[in-house]
Amino acid sequence: MNEFEEALQLARRHSGTEPNLDTVLIAEDDAMFRRILMNWLEKWGYQVIAAEDGSSAWSILQSGDAPQIAILDWMMPGMDGIELCRRIRSEQGRYRYLLLLTAKDEKQDVVTGLDAGADDYLTKPFAVEELRARVRAGKRILELQEALLQARDALRFEAAHDPLTALWNHGAILDFLKREFDRQQRTHQPLGIMMADLDYFKKINDTHGHLVGDTVLQQVARRFRQALRSYDFVGRYGGEEFLMLVPGCGLADLIATAERLRCSVADQPVATSVGNVPVTVSMGLASTAEEGRDWQDYRQLLCAADAALYVAKSEGRNRVALSPTAVTAKQHGR
């Protein structure tokens, strides 16, 4: 599994999108028939959650890991199967497969049930194998839904992430910068940004090849992610450049964070197929906490960090530099 696939899988887990397709909810007020249904489903390998009326079933369906398949009796006290179907269909989110059990067999009754949101129905009494086939059909539909959702999530993830490092891509990290800058203008909480550039990266590619260069980029990206807070942002700005956003971080803390990131790269060479490759980074910083600056646009912050990166590189690389304006302010004691 590469960096991109690992990050996509992690994102899906954190978003709570893992479905529950092997658990079935039964809503049936007849205790004996409810037990018979449970025995059949458990024999077929399903886990079963049982409710004795529609209201209890509705409460169960509000939980985060509620079953995606529900077998609902039409006639129940409190809330019947028809009303329960309507409530379920009024919700947003993942589709549930609803199988309605009824003693009604008139055509209009069937239409009423399907119009309420049921996917299928069984008329009591029914054959056991018919129930099993209907539940299997429901699971196939939900599995197809899951495959489509995974494809959609992958496309969304790919559109916003760099395929090599699995970091936010250029467009996404700039979107986050604009959003965080707008937030800073409202809340007046400091926002710091760091622009990092791998030193002599072209030499690494020329000496060891681009596959080794890719490994270096991936490992540096991983170290940046691990060294930052969960609510910070790190993106691949382009080539061997990275952009990091550190909300709520004053100037002194921003410098300390940048030094920690620089050391996380410089203190340990990157293990590659050709052996250990020493890597260093130059970093340019800018912060809305700088005194004497009236930041009107997020692009100003970006330009300031870029200018600071140029200073870090011109002064020998493998170092952290503040934007020239911040240095001037510090020298004048502001």
The full DSSP string for 233-265 is EEEEEETTEEEEEEET--HHHHHHHHHHHHHHH
Q: Could you tell me which residue, 105 or 14, shows the higher pLDDT?
A: 105
- Please choose, from the candidates 291, 7, 269, 36, the residue with its C-alpha nearest in 3D space to the C-alpha of residue 154: 7
pLDDT-derived band of residue 1, with 50, 70 and 90 as boundaries?
low
pLDDT-derived band of residue 107, with 50, 70 and 90 as boundaries?
confident
Is it the case that residue 93 has pLDDT exceeding 90? no
Which of the residues 240, 290, 291, 315 is marked catalytic? 240
Is it the case that residue 43 has pLDDT exceeding 90? yes
> Are β-strands 241-247 and 191-198 bridged in parallel, bridged antiparallel, or unpaired?
antiparallel
pTM listed for this prediction:
0.70
Instruction: Give the model confidence (pLDDT) of 193-219 as tens digits.
Output: 999 999 999 999 999 999 999 999 999
Round to whole Å and give the CA distance between 307 and 310. Answer: 5
pLDDT-derived band of residue 3, with 50, 70 and 90 as boundaries?
low
Instruction: Give the model confidence (pLDDT) of 223-245 as tens digits.
Output: 999 999 999 999 999 999 999 99
**159 conformational bin, left if phi > 0, alpha if psi -120 to 50, beta if neither:** alpha
The pair of structure tokens assigned to 130 is 């018919």
Q: What is the pLDDT of residue 291?
A: 79
Is it the case that residue 16 has pLDDT exceeding 80? no
Q: What is the mean pLDDT of the chain?
A: 90
What is the set of domains in the chain, with CATH numbers? Answer: 3-159 (3.40.50.2300), 170-331 (3.30.70.270)
pLDDT-derived band of residue 329, with 50, 70 and 90 as boundaries?
very low
How far is CA 322 from its chain centroid? Answer: 33
Q: Is 290 a catalytic residue?
A: no
267 near 227, Cβ under 8 Å? no
- Give the number of residues written for the chain: 334
Round to whole Å and give the CA distance between 160 and 147. Answer: 20
pLDDT-derived band of residue 20, with 50, 70 and 90 as boundaries?
confident
Is it the case that residue 4 has pLDDT exceeding 90? no
Round to whole Å and give the CA distance between 115 and 134. Answer: 18
Backbone angles phi, psi at 223, to 5 degrees: -65, -40
Q: Cα dihedral sign for 168, 173, 175, 181?
A: positive
Helices (H) and strands (E) in the chain, counts: 12, 12
- List residues bridging with 49 in a β-sheet: 25
